[in-house]
Structure 1
Amino acid sequence: MDMDSLVKIITKEVLKKIDIINLQKAKVKSGNILILDSISKEKKDKYEYIIGINKNIKFLDDFFVDDDIDSLDYIIVPNLSIKDLSSIAIGLEQSQISKVVIDSILHGKKVVVIEEGIDYRKFRNISSENFFQLFKSYEDRLVSFGIDIVKKEELLFYLSENTCVKDIKKELVQESFKNINQGKKVHVIEATISKKAVSEGDIKRIWDLGYKTIYLNKKSIITPLAKDYIRTNEIEIKRINL
């Protein structure tokens, strides 16, 4: 066996062990999850990547609006319709999904929206720009409520960490959100992320709130998509001990 083949085999085995370690961490930390989608065999297969790391999962069909929200650690929204986006943004319960999300926000629970499932975004290139921006402002409002928007491929990183952005003062968030609604970005404030694995969604949420400089733990891992976003937007990253 030549050296190149041996290196490939060793690299494959190392990556496999890293994946196993990550899954083990996710099993420990991911907690009780509610997926806001109906369950069927097809849907169950669709979410196997989540079910495989955590058996404490409920689907919308299993969950009644009067159930105990406090027992949940994460509420995952795989698909966010225009109706539900608008309803949640103005605090109006018009469906089971919007009611659960609104209740979860009121109870201080962590709500996660899958970025690829945000319905209004698919009309980006054909809609009136002003009309599209209306729904973009609703999405920004959800983020200001503490809802996280995560790419599907980065969800396992997110669930395994169970940490969040810190050191963002409420009044600064409100000021940045006002600037966003006015079409402005003011990148003058510094923010800190304490996560071990930093995703593109983490960086984007901070950038959209108006932060130009972001402090990360020296040991934090930045995902490839996050690195691309940082480079494209010329965001300054500083490493510190957290």
Structure 2
Amino acid sequence: MNMEEIIKSIVRQILPLINKKILIFISGGKVNAESLISTLSDFELIDYNIVMSEAAASVIDKRLIEKLKGRIIDSQDKLNETIRSSEFILIPILTRNTLSKVALGIEDNLITIGIARAIMLSKEIIAVRDSYDSQNSINISEGFSSNLAYNSMLSNHEKILDSFGVKFIDSSEFRETIQDKFYKSSLQPFDKKKVDIPERYTESNKKENIARQNKLIENKKEERIIFNSSILTVKDINHTLEDGVIRLNKGTIITPLAKDYIYNNNLRVEFC
């Protein structure tokens, strides 16, 4: 590879990151907090805006936040403007407290106010479930998963936020999901079959036949189950699977765990 090709390759990798505005909400959980925030700091060209709860400011190492080189949002006026201008919202640390408040419509600090407004504005939101997840190994080891009724309550709160459009992932999926999101990468889209037109057809007949075929294709598409969210997780697969095929809109990101599930179960992915 010559120098020109090397430079082009570097530019292709850097350009998708420049000027991306991402809003991060950080509440006061400790589960995998260091690794999650460190992952974000690896993407140095991203323009981060950060909203932190008082609890987060007291328990998370200040040096981790400084490595993000982001702006701290500390007022509602700044918050409203930032939410509207952000490409999407990240919640790498979501505590039980914040999860429950947002699910119940409680807005009592910048974190809960901001997440609620982002939901109301239909902004894309990606949240990591580790801090509140009763199935997380750290929570289990500390005995925070013993009460099944309480676990069920948290699960119901997650379902409420999921119905609002919040996409939940595990920390093990975080780096690859965010990287894919930043670079807008995904599996290669499938090629549509070409419509064969017999040579005896006139130009007019060809156009009419193509129009009819396209209409049939569109009608067929309407009958299919097509997953409309921008990120497909393992939990989404059963809801969108049809005859061993998962149909996604172009640009949909497939999380690492979902990719493994698709591969291990010999499922097929089609991009529409």
Do residues 202 (structure 1) and 221 (structure 2) align?
no
Which residue number in structure 2 is paired with residue 191 of structure 1? Answer: 226
Q: Which amino acid aligns with 1:48?
A: S
Query: Equivalent residues in 2 for 1:22-101 (5 A)?
Result: 23-24=13-14, 26-28=16-18, 31-37=20-26, 47-50=40-43, 52-54=44-46, 56-60=47-51, 62-63=72-73, 64-67=75-78, 68=81, 69-101=83-115
Classify 1:223/1:146 alpha carbon distance in 2 versus 1 (closer, same or farther; 3 Å): closer
C-alpha separation between the residues in 1 aligned to 2:121 and 2:226? 25
- Does the 8 A contact of 1:116 with 1:152 survive in 2? no
Could you say what secondary structure the match of 1:127 adopts?
coil
Any residues of structure 2 matched to 1:1-242 within 5 Å, and which? Answer: 20=10, 23-24=13-14, 26-28=16-18, 31-37=20-26, 47-50=40-43, 52-54=44-46, 56-60=47-51, 62-63=72-73, 64-67=75-78, 68=81, 69-122=83-136, 123=139, 126-150=145-169, 151-153=173-175, 154-161=177-184, 190-192=225-227, 202-207=232-237, 210-213=239-242, 214-216=246-248, 224-231=256-263, 234=265, 236-240=267-271, 242=272
Amino acid at match of 1:37: I
Task: Confirm or deny: 8 A CA contact 2:232 2:255 kept in the other structure.
Answer: no
Pick closer, same or farther for the CA change 1:217–1:32 going to 2, 3 Å: closer
CA distance in 2, matches of 1:219, 1:45: 26
- TM-score (normalizing by structure 1): 0.61
Question: Which position in structure 1 is the counterpart of 2:55?
Answer: none
Aligned residues: 189
Distance 1:113 1:219 in 2: 19
Q: Give the counterpart letter for 2:17 in structure 1.
A: K
Mapped partners of 2:153, 2:126: distance in 1: 21
Instruction: Using the TM superposition, give the Cα deviation of residue 45 of structure 1 relative to its aligned residue in structure 2, in angstroms.
Output: 5.3
Partners of 2:241 and 2:258 in 1: CA distance: 14
Bigger CA radius of gyration = 2
Alignment TM-score, normalising by the size of structure 2: 0.55
Q: Which runs of 5+ in 2 are unaligned?
A: 28-33, 53-71, 187-223
Shift of 1:92: 1.1
1:59 maps to amino acid? I
Q: Which runs of 5+ in 1 are unaligned?
A: 1-9, 11-15, 164-188, 196-200
What is the CA-CA distance between 1:193 and the residue it aligns to? 5.7
Alpha-carbon distance, 1:136 to partner: 1.0
Structural RMSD (CA)? 3.9
TM superposition shift of 1:103: 1.0
Change beyond 3 A, Cα 1:207–1:53:
same
Provide the residue aligned with 1:177 in structure 2: none
Deviation at 1:229, TM superposition (A): 2.2
Q: For the residues of structure 1 that align with 2:111 and 2:26, how far apart are their CA atoms?
A: 9
8 Å CA contact 1:81, 1:118 repeated in 2: yes
